[in-house]
Amino acid sequence: MLYKIFKVIVTFSLKLYFRKIDLSGLPYLSEGKAQILASNHPSGFLEPLIMACFFPRPLYFLVRGDVFENRFLKPVLTGTHQLPIYRFKDGFSKLRENKSSMEAASQVLLDKKCLLIFAEGSTKSIKMVRPLQKGFIRLAADAQSSNPELPIEIVPVGINFSDSTKFAGDVMVRVGKPVLVDSASIISGSESAQYTNYLLQNTYEKLQENVIHLAEQSRLKVMEDVFT
């Protein structure tokens, strides 16, 4: 219920903030499928809001665990499908709580729901795809270890802002063709490492196809001059 209420309010706010919100590939987001959305992360908080508001199915999120320490904010975070992930700087006792969060994230997939992960592992305002972390693949492996018959799709999602910090800017969201995870390969001891690297590279390349990817950031100013 809280998720739906916030979705209405935030959708209205986003439509006011952005001049244009361009979406494509939404038919790839299929209800009743276990899907991991692997996205780039060029802004601090706008990407999850945009995807939660404009994607056709409810999303679940992994977020920084320290924000759950606020007892007033915690019910809101929980009610909007957010799961805490703690870092080393949060302390060893908090790191142990990640086990229950990973189990909850795995259960999201086992329930054939949609889990959003920012695969780069951190946020940086840059027009390129940075190296991906393996966390989203481990989650797929954990879920398929519990149910090897469960089809899991990794869906690349590219977010492109003209300038996320400026009012009346544009945002382009591209949902790419899903990659079906091979459960036999990902949970096999002899093949899992090789298959993980394959999935990581494949997802990276598909993200590049859906993101304005400038390997040489010095070219960014030239591009902005052309299109502004």
DSSP letter for 23, please: E
Token code pair at residue 152: 């899991």
Q: How far apart are CA 115 and CA 222, in angstroms?
A: 36
Domain count, the chain: 1
Nearest to 216 by CA among 131, 126, 122: 126
Task: Give the span between the Cα atoms of 24 and 160, in whole angstroms.
Answer: 12
Q: Give the separation between CA 182 and CA 195, rounded to whole angstroms.
A: 9
At 40 the three-state DSSP class reads coil
Q: What is the pTM of this model?
A: 0.91
Query: What are the tokens at 136?
Result: 């989203």
Nearest to 104 by CA among 68, 133, 72: 68
Instruction: Tell which wins on pLDDT, 214 or 195.
Output: 195
Ranges of beta strands (E only) in the chain are 18-24, 34-39, 59-64, 82-85, 114-118, 152-161, 169-175, 179-180
Q: Which of 176, 201, 107 is nearest to 145 (CA)?
A: 107
Q: What is the mean pLDDT of residues 67-86?
A: 92
* Mean pLDDT (whole number) for 138-165: 95
3-state SS, residue 116: strand
Kindly state the percentage of the chain with pLDDT values over 70: 92
Question: Residue 220 pLDDT > 90, yes or no?
Answer: no
User: Is residue 17 over pLDDT 90?
Assistant: yes
Span 131-144, mean pLDDT?
A: 94
Domain of 53, CATH number, reads 3.40.1130.10
- Residue 227 reports pLDDT greater than 60: no
Q: Say what the pLDDT of residue 189 is.
A: 64
Map residue 113 onto helix, strand or coil. coil
C-alpha–C-alpha distance, residues 160 and 162, integer Å: 7
**Given a cut of 60, is residue 228 above it in pLDDT?**
no
**How long is the chain?**
228
For tokens 């999201």, the residue is 108
| Mean pLDDT of the region 187-211 | 89
Residue 183 binned pLDDT confidence (cut-offs 50, 70, 90): confident
Query: Is the pLDDT reported for residue 87 higher than 90?
Result: no
**Which pLDDT belongs to residue 221?**
53
**Whether pLDDT at 114 is above 50:** yes
Please provide residue 143's backbone torsions phi and psi, each rounded to the nearest 5 degrees.
-65, -40
Residue 144 clears pLDDT 70, i.e. is over it: yes
Domain span holding position 94: 2-227
* The most confident of 53-57, 88-92, 215-219, by mean pLDDT: 53-57
Q: What is the mean pLDDT of residues 141-158?
A: 96
Mean pLDDT over each residue of the chain, to the nearest integer: 90
* Average pLDDT for 177-183: 94
Instruction: Tell me the sheet residues that pair with 38.
Output: 117, 156
Residue 110: exposed, middle, or buried by beta-carbon count in 10 A (0-12, 13-18, 19+)? Answer: middle
